[in-house]
A and B are shown apart, each in its own frame.
Chain A
Amino acid sequence: MTIFAEYGQILIILACLFGLFMAWGVGANDVANAMGTSVGAGALTIKQAILIAMVFEFAGAYLAGGEVTSTIRKGIIDPAVLAGAPELLVYGMLSALLAAGTWLLIASMMGWPVSTTHSIVGAIVGFAAVGISPDAVHWGKVGKIVASWVVSPVLAGTIAYMLFSSVQKLILTQDDPFKRAKKIIPFYMFAVGFLIAMVTMLKGLKHVFKDTGVAMSFGECAMMAAGVGIVVAIIGSVLLNRVKRDEEAEHYNRFASVEKVFAVLMIFTACAMAFAHGSNDVANAVGPLAAVVSVVKSGAVGAKSMMPSWILLLGGVGIMLGLATYGFKVMGTIGRKITELTPSRGFAAELGAAATVVLASGIGLPISTTHTLVGAVLGVGLARGIAALNMRVIGTIFMSWLITLPAGAGLAIVFFFFFKGIFS
Chain B
Amino acid sequence: MVFSKTIFNLFGKSPISPLQAHMTLVVACAERLQEFLNAAIANDWELSSEIFDKISKKEDKADEMKRQLRLQLPKSLFMPLDRGDLLDLLSLQDRIANRSKDIAGLMLGRKMSIPEPLHQQMIEFVSSSIEAGRQALKAINELDELLEVGFSGKEVDFVEKMIGELDQLEDKTDLLEQEIRLKLFGLEQDLPPIDMMFLYQVIDMIGELADLAEGVGGRLQLLLAR
Contact = CB atoms under 8 A, between A and B. Distances in A.
A116 interface: no
A422 interface: no
Contacts of B147: 384-385, 387
B194 interface: no
Contact of B80 (A342, A344, A386): A386
A29 B7 contact: no
Contact of B3 (A175, A329, A338, A344): A329
B86 to A, nearest CB: 10
A251 interface: no
Interface stretch (B93-101, B123-131, B151-159, B205-213): B151-159
B161 interface: no
Interface in A95-150: 107-113
A374 B6 CA distance: 11
Given A111-B4, A111-B6, A389 B151 contact: no
Given A111-B2, A112-B4, A397-B7, A340 B145 contact: no
Interface stretch (A32-40, A48-56, A186-194, A307-315): A32-40
B148 A113 contact: no
Nearest to B8: A334
B189 interface: no
A172 B148 CA distance: 8
Contacts of B120: none
Given A172-B149, A173-B152, A392-B76, A333 B5 contact: yes
A339 interface: yes
Contacts of B145: 253-255
Given A388-B78, A388-B79, A342 B14 contact: no
Nearest to A175: B154
Interface residues of B, number: 33
Interface in B6-24: 6-16
Contacts of A3: none
B149 A387 contact: no
B220 to A, nearest CB: 15
A341 B76 CA distance: 19
A288 B149 CA distance: 47
A384 B78 contact: no
Given A381-B78, A387-B79, A393 B150 contact: no
Contacts of A397: 7
A386 B15 CA distance: 11
B1 interface: yes
B14 A396 contact: no
Contacts of B7: 33, 36, 113, 370, 373-374, 393, 397
A85 to B, nearest CB: 38
B188 interface: no
Most chain A Cβ neighbours within 10 Å, of B11, B14, B74, B145: B11
Given A340-B13, A385-B150, A330 B78 contact: no
B11 A334 contact: no
Contacts of A108: 1-4
B148 A255 contact: yes
A172 B13 contact: no
B166 to A, nearest CB: 20
B138 to A, nearest CB: 14
Contacts of A342: 148
Most chain B Cβ neighbours within 10 Å, of A32, A253, A255, A384: A384
Most chain A Cβ neighbours within 10 Å, of B8, B9, B12, B152: B8
Contacts of A169: 153
A339 B144 contact: no
Contacts of B1: 108-109, 326
B42 interface: no
A168 interface: yes
Contacts of A164: 150
Nearest to A339: B14
Nearest to A392: B76
A254 B14 CA distance: 18
A383 interface: yes
Most chain A Cβ neighbours within 10 Å, of B1, B14, B144: B1
A393 B7 CA distance: 7
A341 B74 CA distance: 20
A377 interface: yes
Interface in B90-134: none
Contact of B155 (A33, A173, A330, A388): A173
A110 B78 contact: no
B150 A168 contact: yes
A342 B14 CA distance: 12
B4 to A, nearest CB: 4
Nearest to B149: A172
B77 interface: yes
A240 to B, nearest CB: 19
Interface string A383-413: 1111111111110110000000000000000
Contacts of A110: 2, 4
Q: 4 smallest A-B Cβ distances: which pairs?
A: A173-B153, A387-B14, A388-B12, A384-B80
17 contacts: A29-B3, A32-B3, A33-B8, A36-B8, A168-B153, A172-B148, A172-B149, A172-B150, A329-B3, A330-B4, A338-B11, A370-B7, A381-B80, A384-B80, A386-B11, A388-B14, A390-B76
